[in-house]
């Protein structure tokens, strides 16, 4: 009996050693390892996985299992390389068999796969040297492409999960909006949730963005980042870092963050930094979330931007009213035809544009117009609470000018709209109730993963495969209860005899239309006559002249 177990273990180890060789081969092919690195990396992998001896046979027959690159994803982004997840999986299973990790949950697998890939990674200094070398050869696009590929090859960008996202476009009077259902973040195992709750609180790293995440081993309630590398960038004269997002929402979705863990703050410095970045990386846009709750992003505690190489619906939207300003003679100023309230300014003169943006920001911060429910402050004097801010987006436009889209935001709440007057209203929460941040503002919906299953069930109701009584739908704990009004409206307009594919298409269009309404709710000046006039009044109050 003991001999059989021993033989099984020996065979398992031999197989694992084979997978180690395949991973080394992958690392060499993807340029993670340089020639000569393989000896030390092999030994480090054998040590981590507690394997006594390396594989010594041929590997030819195994190579075919590692596909070449080019996995297409629906999110408008394409993986530059097939990640190593197929190569890692057997090693993770092996580690679980051998008790190297205590459980077979996604959390433990994620902690170990980052650790394994970390052993294959070039050091941060080597990554910086290579990147700066490519930049100094005059091709910054080639430099970011190289870093994007590295961040994908390292499994830091989780292409295997990003490809689970649903993606479609919905035509609207404002252009085609982009809709994604975000399925890339794996659901937590209840065992891990319990373990997380029991885990001691730690203040290191201070947050998910902090540079101290580079190489961090992770823990049950913080992701492992041994395979994570960041690049230094100087913007507005200050040290920041550049990285990609592990769960991309669009092509080359990158994140820029301050070296210091300091809170988000929209100021003239924000415009200077954003424009400095797009000057250095002209193939990328960069934008910041607003700095107030409700209208800001999910992380307000660490100043950061998001950028990337993607033309969002808002960028394609046209200017519907043009203005000039005597103090900013080279700058164009326009109101964008968009459900949110966007001032688009552009100039060849970067400094002039920075001053113009700063002027608009300070003017907006204190601007009120009670005819359209815009109030800059609540309360009085020292204790008054500010409500107005801006979500700014910078790019080099197609004419080669610096361009800023300044999205006017207000986070005031009322008795009628306790979650925010300019926030998706209650009746839309069945689709979207989270903050409307930078990415959504630009016309890309990031909808919660629960919707995949819910939309599939509603499709089945509309095509008669699933019976749903009014009584069932009325039960508060029924998963479709939140959609009850929507389902009843759909049933009475299209019945319950649709072809499944048509029902699915209808639901996609309906979801897109609801997202448009979400954006309209977030607009401070509505796209109607009173709203348009109020928007013009704001610009005129700042000194703009109708062109
Ligand atoms: Zn931080």
What pTM was estimated for this model as a whole? 0.94
Contact 170, 509 (CB under 8 A): yes
Judge whether residue 66 has pLDDT over 50. no
What's the pLDDT band for 196 if we cut at 50, 70, 90?
confident
Residue 297 CA, ligand 1 centroid: distance in Å: 14
**φ, ψ of residue 371 in degrees (nearest 5):** -65, -20
Average the pLDDT over 41-67 and give the result.
80
Judge whether residue 188 has pLDDT over 80. no
Would you state the pLDDT for residue 33? 96
Residue 255 CA, ligand 1 centroid: distance in Å: 13
Residue 76 CA, ligand 1 centroid: distance in Å: 29
The answer to which of 54-68, 85-99, 413-427, 461-475 has the lowest mean pLDDT is 54-68
Judge whether residue 482 has pLDDT over 60. yes
Average the pLDDT over 521-547 and give the result.
97
Q: Answer positive or negative: Cα dihedral of 262, 268, 274, 276.
A: negative
Contact 537, 363 (CB under 8 A): no
What's the pLDDT band for 235 if we cut at 50, 70, 90?
very high
Protein residues placing their CB within 5 Å of the ion ligand 1: 206-207, 209-210, 261, 302
Residue 519 CA, ligand 1 centroid: distance in Å: 29
Would you state the pLDDT for residue 79? 86
Q: What gap in Å lies between CA 253 and CA 158, rounded to an integer?
A: 12
Among all chains, which residue has been given the structure tokens 């298409």? Answer: 505
Q: What share of the chain is helix, strand, coil (3-state, %, to 5)?
A: 40, 15, 40
Average the pLDDT over 2-6 and give the result.
74
Give CA separation, 375 vs 284, 438, 530, 541, in Å: 35, 22, 16, 15
Tokens of 140: 């910054």
Give CA separation, 501 vs 454, 456, 512, in Å: 16, 11, 17
Would you state the pLDDT for residue 466? 92
Would you state the pLDDT for residue 275? 98
* 445, 446, 449, 452 alpha-carbon torsion, rounded to 10°: 20
- Output 138 or 335, whichever has higher pLDDT: 335
- Before 27, cis peptide (omega within 30)? no
What's the pLDDT band for 184 if we cut at 50, 70, 90?
confident
Judge whether residue 72 has pLDDT over 60. no
Would you state the pLDDT for residue 81? 87
Cα angle 211, 304, 213; round to 5 = 20
Would you state the pLDDT for residue 61? 53
Residue 268 CA, ligand 1 centroid: distance in Å: 22
Would you state the pLDDT for residue 122? 97
Residue 121 CA, ligand 1 centroid: distance in Å: 23
What's the pLDDT band for 76 if we cut at 50, 70, 90?
low
Would you state the pLDDT for residue 70? 43
Strands 332-336 and 304-308: unpaired
Contact 342, 390 (CB under 8 A): no
Average the pLDDT over 327-333 and give the result.
98
Residue 52 CA, ligand 1 centroid: distance in Å: 40
Report percent pLDDT > 70 for the chain: 97
Average the pLDDT over 224-238 and give the result.
98
Would you state the pLDDT for residue 71? 45
What's the pLDDT band for 68 if we cut at 50, 70, 90?
very low
Q: What gap in Å lies between CA 273 and CA 238, rounded to an integer?
A: 8
Residue 89 CA, ligand 1 centroid: distance in Å: 31
Would you state the pLDDT for residue 75? 56
Judge whether residue 74 has pLDDT over 60. no
Q: What gap in Å lies between CA 519 and CA 526, rounded to an integer?
A: 10
Closest CA to 79 of 143, 134, 140, 161: 161
Residue 38 CA, ligand 1 centroid: distance in Å: 34
Would you state the pLDDT for residue 69? 44
Residue 393 CA, ligand 1 centroid: distance in Å: 22
Residue 203 CA, ligand 1 centroid: distance in Å: 10
Among all chains, which residue has been given the structure tokens 């609801």? Answer: 514
Average the pLDDT over 2-12 and give the result.
81
Q: Answer positive or negative: Cα dihedral of 412, 418, 420, 421.
A: negative
Q: What gap in Å lies between CA 526 and CA 364, rounded to an integer?
A: 16
How many other C-beta atoms lie within 10 A of the C-beta of residue 248? 26
How many other C-beta atoms lie within 10 A of the C-beta of residue 177? 26
Residue 204 CA, ligand 1 centroid: distance in Å: 9
Judge whether residue 27 has pLDDT over 90. yes
Judge whether residue 1 has pLDDT over 90. no
Q: What gap in Å lies between CA 329 and CA 327, rounded to an integer?
A: 6
Residue 210 CA, ligand 1 centroid: distance in Å: 4
Give CA separation, 327 vs 332, 342, 353, 403, in Å: 12, 21, 11, 18
Average the pLDDT over 288-317 and give the result.
94
**φ, ψ of residue 405 in degrees (nearest 5):** -100, 120
Average the pLDDT over 56-64 and give the result.
64
- Residue 40 host element (H or E): helix 38-48
Strands 342-347 and 332-336: antiparallel
Q: What gap in Å lies between CA 524 and CA 504, rounded to an integer?
A: 33
The mean predicted confidence, pLDDT, of the chain is 93
**Residue partners of 289: CB distance under 8 A and separation at least 6:** 264, 296, 297, 300, 306, 391, 437, 438
Residue 64 CA, ligand 1 centroid: distance in Å: 42
What's the pLDDT band for 298 if we cut at 50, 70, 90?
confident
What's the pLDDT band for 187 if we cut at 50, 70, 90?
confident
Q: Answer positive or negative: Cα dihedral of 271, 277, 281, 284.
A: negative
Residue 112 CA, ligand 1 centroid: distance in Å: 23
Helix-helix angle 2-29:106-120, to 10 degrees: 60
Judge whether residue 359 has pLDDT over 50. yes
Residue 202 CA, ligand 1 centroid: distance in Å: 13
Would you state the pLDDT for residue 77? 78
Length of the chain: 547
Average the pLDDT over 311-327 and give the result.
97
Contact 33, 24 (CB under 8 A): yes
Judge whether residue 261 has pLDDT over 90. yes
- b/e per residue, 191-208, with b = 16+ CB within 10 A? ebeebeeeeeeeeebeee
DSSP lists the bridge partners of residue 255 as 243, 306
Residue 269 CA, ligand 1 centroid: distance in Å: 19
């Amino acid at each position: 009996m003991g001999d059989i177990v021993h033989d099984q273990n020996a065979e398992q180890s031999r197989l694992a050693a084979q997978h180690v060789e395949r991973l080394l081969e992958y690392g060499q092919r993807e340029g993670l390892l340089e020639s000569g690195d393989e000896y030390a990396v092999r030994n480090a992998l054998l040590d981590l996985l507690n394997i006594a001896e390396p594989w010594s046979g041929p590997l030819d027959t195994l190579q075919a299992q590692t596909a070449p690159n080019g996995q297409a994803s629906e999110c408008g982004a394409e993986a530059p390389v097939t990640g190593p997840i197929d190569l890692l999986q057997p090693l993770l299973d092996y580690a679980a068999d051998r008790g190297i990790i205590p459980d077979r949950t996604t959390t433990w697998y994620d902690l170990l796969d980052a650790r394994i890939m970390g052993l294959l990674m070039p050091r941060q200094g080597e990554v910086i040297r290579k990147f700066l070398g490519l930049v100094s050869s005059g091709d910054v696009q080639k430099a970011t492409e190289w870093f994007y590929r590295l961040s994908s090859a390292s499994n830091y960008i989780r292409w295997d999960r990003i490809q689970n996202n649903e993606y479609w476009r919905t035509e609207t009077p404002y252009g085609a909006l982009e809709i994604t259902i975000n399925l890339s973040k794996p659901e937590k195992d209840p065992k891990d949730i319990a373990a997380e709750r029991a885990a001691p609180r730690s203040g290191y790293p201070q947050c998910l963005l902090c540079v101290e995440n580079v190489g961090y081993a992770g823990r049950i309630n913080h992701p492992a980042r041994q395979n994570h590398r960041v690049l230094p960038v100087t913007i507005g004269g200050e040290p920041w870092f550049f990285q990609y997002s592990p769960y991309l929402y669009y092509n080359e979705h990158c994140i820029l963050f301050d070296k210091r863990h300091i809170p988000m703050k929209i100021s003239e410095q924000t415009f200077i930094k954003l424009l400095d970045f797009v000057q250095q990386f002209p193939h990328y846009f960069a934008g910041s979330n607003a700095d107030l709750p409700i209208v800001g992003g999910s992380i307000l505690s660490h100043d950061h931007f998001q950028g990337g190489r993607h033309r969002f619906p808002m960028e394609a939207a046209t200017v519907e009213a043009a203005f000039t300003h005597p103090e900013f003679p080279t700058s164009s100023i326009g109101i964008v035809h968009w459900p949110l309230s966007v001032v688009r300014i552009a100039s060849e003169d970067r400094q002039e544009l920075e001053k113009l943006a700063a002027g608009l920001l300070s003017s907006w911060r204190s601007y009120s117009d009670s005819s359209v429910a815009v109030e800059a402050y609540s309360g009085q004097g020292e204790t008054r609470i500010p409500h107005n801010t801006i979500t700014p987006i910078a790019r080099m436009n197609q004419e080669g000018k610096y361009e800023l889209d300044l999205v006017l935001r207000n986070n005031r709440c009322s008795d009628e709209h306790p979650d925010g007057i300019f926030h998706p209203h209650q009746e839309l929460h069945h689709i979207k109730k989270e903050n409307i941040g930078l990415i959504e503002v630009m016309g890309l919906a990031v909808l919660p993963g629960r919707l995949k299953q819910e939309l599939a069930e509603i499709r089945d109701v509309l095509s008669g495969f699933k019976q749903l009584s009014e009584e069932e739908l009325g039960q508060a704990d029924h998963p479709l209860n939140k959609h009850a009004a929507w389902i009843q409206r759909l049933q009475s307009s299209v019945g319950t005899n649709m072809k499944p594919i048509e029902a699915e298409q209808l639901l996609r269009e309906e979801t897109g239309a609801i997202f448009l309404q979400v954006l309209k709710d977030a607009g401070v000046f509505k796209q109607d006559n009173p709203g348009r006039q109020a928007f013009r009044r704001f610009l005129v109050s700042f000194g703009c002249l109708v062109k």
